[in-house]
Amino acid sequence: MDDVRRTFKAPWDWLLILMTSGVTILLLGLNYYTPGVVSTLITWSIILGALGFGIFGYHIQDGQLKILRLGWSKDIDLSKITEVEFKPNAMTGSVRTFGIGGLFGYIGYFRNSILKSYKAYVTHRDKTVVLTTEEGEVVISPDDPKAFVASVKSVLEDNPADN
């Protein structure tokens, strides 16, 4: 396992770049044209709140998949993963049921006809990896999906007693 890659970036797709830039510029523009403490508080609360939940990478460590956020991580126990598969565009046709749909990531609860209900921690819709867990599907988007799948499978094979 020592030669297996454990850290993966979370690249942004063109839509995420466009949406994050557009919403941020819109919010800052509205704040400029409606100055005041309340407007400033609302603007920066939205931007910084969404940024705090943004996805900045993925790291495999100590039997956990760490979904890296700004100063914290969402951890998924690898022993709870029953299947891992690179499924490009797994979010196609999805509807957001609760979460953030394009400001620093596609994050939260989504639904589509293929996966049904699932959780997403995605920044690039073409590079999606589907993790099947005991609690349901989780979709992520590491920079090298095939290497990520190989890394997770390697960890799961090295620790068969946990599965």
| pLDDT, average across residues 52-65 | 95
Q: How many other CB atoms sit within 10 Å of the CB of residue 14?
A: 10
pLDDT recorded at residue 1: 46
pLDDT recorded at residue 8: 98
**Taking 50 as the threshold, does the pLDDT of residue 145 lie above it?**
yes
| Distance, CA of 61 to CA of 155 (rounded, Å) | 10
Domain ranges of the chain: 7-162
- Regarding predicted confidence, which is higher, 35 or 130? 130
With cut-offs at 50, 70 and 90, classify the pLDDT of residue 120: very high
pLDDT recorded at residue 2: 57
Nearest residue to 117 (alpha-carbon basis) of 100, 103, 130, 128: 130
**Taking 70 as the threshold, does the pLDDT of residue 160 lie above it?**
no
Largest CA distance in the chain: 60
